[in-house]
Amino acid sequence: MSASSHLPLDPSQGSVSLTRQLCDISSVSGDEGRIADAVEALLRAQAPHLTVLRDGDTIIARTTLGRAQSVAIAGHLDTVPINENLPTWEAPDPATGEPMLWGRGTVDMKAGVAVQLLLAVELTEPEVDLVWVWYDHEEVASDLSGLGRVMRAHPELFDVDFAILGEPSNGTIEGGCNGTLRARATFHGTRAHSARSWMGVNAIHRAGALLEKLSAYEAERIVVDGLEYREGLNAVGIEGGIAGNVIPDRCTVEVNYRFAPSRSADDASAFVREFLSAADEVEIVDLAPGARPGLDAALVQRFVAAVGQTPTAKFGWTDVSRFAAIGIPAVNFGPGNASLAHADDERVSPMQIVETEKALRSWLN
């Protein structure tokens, strides 16, 4: 479907209005075509100062001003599935009374995308050369990421000195990110009729010791380059059972490990395999390393000084990891409370959207 199937995006009404426009274009992971069309159409119509490239449903727009330094500013276009929380609406926060914009994507992360898109159109003479990236497939397995795809296909576009991800950070700077790993631990048993259970081996019961071990595990707090990261190791899914009268011969527990950026992916894998060693099979199904804060780079320090805030650690995984992997310092800076990301009551403060826009504009100018 082309962008002409929707009203064109209009940044002239400001970043809050643009957030609503973007959110109201449904773009659940795998269905980003319509929003990518709209973003591309806006840039080609209103940003002649940018060179625009499209790769699948990822849009890249860059300046070519010959500045001494360059910065990549990126955000993802997709969301987790909708659950009766679109189109967006405005209403006070029930706890604080603060005006809020509600709906899927308001936090994660179309408010950040709106800020970036408005500034991409507006800023024709920034202090640094800019590579703006709006990409697909962030909310799914890391190997599907549109950002990862364009980094592999167009590495020359990412020869930059610093990167900013517009992920929700409550309008503050969050340095680096934890790594994330998902593993499946499978236990085998022997089927039998439940009336003669002693003739079988219950695979679900065999998994019980692992669940108790996970429940008792105390995750570490690790300081990396002055920021404290909190780890986590949790069961996030379980599969098992054949019928109501059959002793199950298979049970699989899915485990998610969030690990500090001081640990390598190999270290994380080794730890999880050892922790799950009581299982008959252990399979690592998804793994993405973390990113150190990278706050010691001069350009990053100038950004921190311009925003005027003390950076904190990013507990969740974000695509700053992809930049860190190729030696580019990167931070998270965007409107929205990350604890509301993916929630059915997802909501963002319009004031925070505007304040984030002002801070980023001031630094780029």
197 with 173, same domain: the answer is no
Mean pLDDT over the full length of the chain? 95
Q: Residue 292: what pLDDT?
A: 93
Residue 277, class by beta-carbon neighbours within 10 Å (0-12 exposed, 13-18 middle, 19+ buried)? exposed
Does this model's pTM top 0.85? My answer is yes
CA 288, 290, 293 angle in degrees (round to 5)?
Answer: 155
Q: Residue 1: what pLDDT?
A: 32
Residue 22 confidence (pLDDT) above 50: yes
Domain end marker among 261, 288, 315: 288
255 with 352, same domain: the answer is no
Domain end marker among 221, 253, 288: 288
Residue 2 confidence (pLDDT) above 70: no
Of the pLDDT bands very low, low, confident and very high (cuts 50, 70, 90), residue 111 is very high
Q: Residue 322: what pLDDT?
A: 95
Question: Residue 218's CB: how many other CB atoms inside 10 A?
Answer: 7
Percentage, residues of the chain above pLDDT 90: 94
Interval 183-240: pLDDT, tens: 999 999 999 999 999 999 999 999 999 999 999 999 999 999 999 999 999 999 999 9
Q: Residue 6: what pLDDT?
A: 61
- 199 to each of 76, 191, 202, 244, 304, how far by Cα in Å? 53, 8, 10, 16, 65
172 with 308, same domain: the answer is yes
User: Average pLDDT, stretch 127-140?
Assistant: 97
Q: Residue 330: what pLDDT?
A: 94
Question: Residue 283's CB: how many other CB atoms inside 10 A?
Answer: 14
Residue 3 confidence (pLDDT) above 90: no
Which residues are CB-contacts of 196 (< 8 A; sequence separation ≥ 6)? none
224 with 112, same domain: the answer is no
34 with 122, same domain: the answer is yes
Domain end marker among 232, 261, 288: 288
20 with 156, same domain: the answer is yes
- Read off the tokens for 288: 């993405």
Interval 246-294: pLDDT, tens: 999 999 999 999 999 999 999 999 999 999 999 999 999 999 999 999 8
Domain count, the chain: 2
Residue 237, class by beta-carbon neighbours within 10 Å (0-12 exposed, 13-18 middle, 19+ buried)? exposed
Residue 4 confidence (pLDDT) above 80: no
Residue 145 confidence (pLDDT) above 70: yes
64 with 156, same domain: the answer is yes
Residue 132 belongs to domain with CATH number: 3.40.630.10
User: Average pLDDT, stretch 44-67?
Assistant: 98
114 with 144, same domain: the answer is yes
As annotated, the active-site residues are: 78, 138
* Single-letter amino acid, residue 167: E
Residue 250 belongs to domain with CATH number: 3.30.70.360
- Read off the tokens for 110: 């179309």
User: Average pLDDT, stretch 17-21?
Assistant: 98
Residue 7 confidence (pLDDT) above 80: no
| Domain encompassing residue 235 | 179-288
134 with 239, same domain: the answer is no
128 with 31, same domain: the answer is yes
Interval 80-93: pLDDT, tens: 999 999 999 999 99
Residue 198, class by beta-carbon neighbours within 10 Å (0-12 exposed, 13-18 middle, 19+ buried)? exposed
Residue 128 confidence (pLDDT) above 70: yes
115 vs 16: CA distance, rounded Å: 8
100 with 217, same domain: the answer is no
User: Average pLDDT, stretch 330-342?
Assistant: 96
Smallest Cα–Cα separation from 288: which of 182, 184, 179, 183?
Answer: 179
Smallest Cα–Cα separation from 270: which of 259, 324, 280, 211?
Answer: 259
324 with 245, same domain: the answer is no
Pick from 4-8, 53-57, 132-136: least confident: 4-8
